Structure formats: C-alpha cells, structure tokens
Amino acid sequence: MTHQLLRKSKVVTAQLRSDIPDFKVGTVVSVHYKIKEGNKERIQVFAGMVTVRHGGNSLDATFTVLKNATAGVKVTRTFPVHSPLIEKIELNSPLQRTKQATLHYLSDIKDPIKSARTKPIKAKTK
C-alpha cells in the first residue's frame, strides 16, 4: 500500500485527533499526559516551550517540549501529537513567531523560556 493511500485510509483518519490546538515552535504549552503505574492511572502535567515539531498533521507527528526543572536542569520530552494518552494540551502563551524551525540552542541557555528569540503573532483584523 502506498504512503498516499495509507494517509487517506479509514483507520488512520479515525485515529487523528481534532481537539489539538494550533501551536508552533516557540509556544509555551502544558501537556496533560496519562501515566499508568501498575493498576493506577494518573495525569501528569509537563509544561515548557515547544522546541521541535515534526510531521505536520500526519498520524506520526511529534513535538518536543523543553522545561526548566529544579536546580537549572533542563528536561526535554517528545510527545506524539495524536496519542490517546494525551488528555489535553493547553497553550500558556499566544502563538509565537521564530526565525528558526527548531530551537535546539535553548538547551544551553540558563532560562530558555525568558530568553527565546520569539515575537507574538498579531491577530489579523478584518
């Protein structure tokens, strides 16, 4: 089966999520993620800045979030966009415009969220 037919199949389109907000690289997000520990299930919030986004709107699309943990340690985590384990994604800042497609340089900066080279996107008025 070709890649084009696979994208349009009923199985793939049934698994695509429609409740994902529009966000780009540079946006600060909070990801509510389900974690299973034994027979218990809880929701953990992972908040930080999106540094990489791959795959567009396809089923295998992913995004990486960088957060500043305790004692200046930075933690990155990659999430599949259409994962059923993601409860919700909250946008903590408006859409940002960056000059780069990925923000890997933020892992070397002390406070990445404050010092990212981003500008808010102005809303279009009609």
Task: Estimate the share of the chain in helix, then strand, then coil, as percent rounded to the nearest 5.
Answer: 20, 40, 40
Q: Which two tokens stand for residue 66?
A: 């960088």
| 3-115: CATH topology | SH3 type barrels. (2.30.30)
Helix (H) or strand (E) holding 30: strand 28-37
Taking the complete model, does pTM exceed 0.85, yes or no? no
At 83, is the secondary structure helix, strand, or coil?
coil
Q: Which two tokens stand for residue 65?
A: 């979030």
Query: Domain limits of the chain?
Result: 3-115
**Closest alpha carbon to 95 in 57, 124, 115, 74:** 124
Per-residue pLDDT of the chain (126 residues; tens, 9 = 90+): 455 555 566 766 777 778 888 888 888 899 999 999 999 999 999 999 888 888 887 788 899 998 888 777 888 899 999 888 999 999 987 766 666 676 766 666 655 555 555 555 565 666
